[in-house]
Amino acid sequence: MVNQAPDGGGGSGAFAVDVETVRAVIPPLLDSLEVAREVWKHHEKMTEGLGADGTTGVERTAKEFLRRWGHAMGLVVKDGEAITQALAVTVQQYDLAEAVATGLMLRNDLPDGTAQYIPNPNPPISVMNPEQLAAAEAQGKVVRAPTVNADGHPVYVPNPNPPEGVTAAPAKPQGAGA
C-alpha cells in the first residue's frame, strides 16, 4: 500500500501510495466494522444459552469473556471508523490532486487565503472522455486528425482555427508541473 519511492540518490526518502489499493481496502474494512458493530451491540445475546444464573465457574467465565469481548469490539469499531475515514479522505485528496495535475480541475485562490477547486471549463484533450470530445468537437474546440490511435479511435487535436469566441482545447495540461 505504501512503499518507499526511489529517491534517485537525492536522499528525499519520499513515499508513494498505491491509491487503488487504499481504495480497495475501504469496502471490506467497512464490512468488517459492521460485523464488529453487531458483536458490540448484541454481545449479551451470546450469553443466553449459558444458563440463567451464571453460578458455575464456566458460565461466569464465559459471560465475563463475552462482556469484555463486546467492549473490545466497541473499541475496534471506534478506531476502525476513524481509520476508514482517514483512508477515505486520503483517497479523495489523491483524486483531487490527480484531477488538478491532469487539468480536469482548476485551483481558485480566494481572497481569504483559502482555495476551492472547480471543474476546468476547457480541459485538455488528453483527459476528455468520448462525450466531452464530441461536445468539444461540436463547439469547435477540437478537430479530428486524419489518423487514428493504436486502438483505432480517432485522434483529436486543438482546433487551429476555432470559431470566434471559442478557445481551442489544450492538448495537454497547462501550467506548473505539466
Quote the domain boundaries for residue 73.
14-102
The answer to the question of residue 8 being in a domain is no
Helix (H) or strand (E) holding 132: helix 130-139
**pLDDT for the residue numbered 9:** 47
Question: CA 51 from chain center: how many Å?
Answer: 49
User: H or E stretch including 105?
Assistant: strand 105-109
Burial of 136 (0-12, 13-18, 19+ CB in 10 A): buried
**Residue 121's pLDDT is what?**
81
From 102, 133, 157, give the residue that closes a domain.
Answer: 102
Q: What is the pLDDT of residue 176?
A: 43
Q: Count how many domains the chain has.
A: 2
Asked if residue 33 is part of any domain, the answer here is: yes
Out of 70, 102, 134, pick the residue that ends a domain: 102
pLDDT in tens, the chain (178 residues): 555 555 554 445 566 778 999 999 999 999 999 999 988 888 778 777 776 665 678 888 888 888 898 899 999 999 999 999 999 999 999 999 888 888 888 888 999 999 999 888 878 888 888 888 889 899 999 998 888 888 888 888 888 888 898 888 887 776 544 4
Instruction: Find all residues with CB under 8 Å of 149, minimum gap 6, and list them.
Output: 155
How many angstroms separate the CA atoms of 47 and 51, rounded? Answer: 8
On whether residue 110 sits in a domain, the answer given is no
Q: How many residues does the chain have?
A: 178
Domain boundary among 102, 131, 161: 102
pLDDT of residue 178: 41
Let me know if residue 70 belongs to a domain.
yes
Same domain, 155 and 94: no
Which residues, 6 or more positions from 171, have their beta carbon under 8 angstroms from its beta carbon? 124, 125, 126, 157, 158
Concatenate the DSSP letters of all residues of 33-67 into one string: HHHHHHHHHHGGGGGGGG-SS--SHHHHHHHHHHH
